[in-house]
Amino acid sequence: MLLVAADSQVLAANPAAVRLLPGVEDDIPLSALVSESADDVGRCVRQWPRTGHPTPAALTLHGYDGVRLRCRCFGARAQWLHAPTVHLRAARIDPGDRFLTLKDRVNGWERERTLRFRATGDRAALNATLATVRARLDRLHALVVALAAAATPGAVGELVARHVPTMLGCARADLYLADSAPVPTNLRIPVPPHATLALTTDTSPPPDHLESVTTLIGGAVSRF
């Protein structure tokens, strides 16, 4: 038997626990004596003081020489103490114990539920990413088709002003040839061989997006 404080520190142990559990007298947390995670142990310790009758849980205690002791632990508030303290009684169980079998089954269901929840979240994130990529490719394709039909440099400039702001997330996009005087703007990108793309934007577009767009515009401008 053990007395455990609300913060999971072991306060006292009876002689049987001292004989079975190394370190139990060293003022250590209960989580240091078991194989379960500190979070799992913390949930048990928070639950046990809420009831005056023993509440079961399964814990694997660390015995001497590396022996693991699978135990059914009954915890309840120690009513004779003023501070919230758990009176914990542990009894070894065999692998065929029905309580242990049920607990393992419930834990398995919980792990499966968690994995399904994560998979659902991952799938939603993947679908959102695919939708973003698909929309970007559709806009690039529309720009390619439009630029291929442009008959003059002025037409290329009009297409840039119409398509590029949506593609790069900017307020305005203007194309200036080498012999023109660009208006003031906060972002200018050279477009080989002889043009400049002027963007009105608060943030720089993603480099890969910008490269794709300038390459298409440069190819269209080079025809004239």
What pLDDT is recorded for position 47?
87
Render pLDDT for 81-116 as a digit per residue (tens, 0 to 9): 888 888 898 888 765 556 566 666 777 777 777 777
pLDDT digits (tens, 9 = 90+) for 122-179: 777 777 888 888 888 888 888 888 888 888 888 988 999 999 998 888 888 888 887 5
Spatial separation of the C-alpha atoms in residues 43 and 58, rounded to whole Å: 12
Q: What is the pTM of this model?
A: 0.44
- Domains of the chain as residue ranges with CATH: 2-93 (3.30.450.20), 136-221 (3.30.450.40)
20-71 pLDDT tens trace: 888 888 888 998 999 888 888 888 888 888 877 888 888 889 888 888 888 8
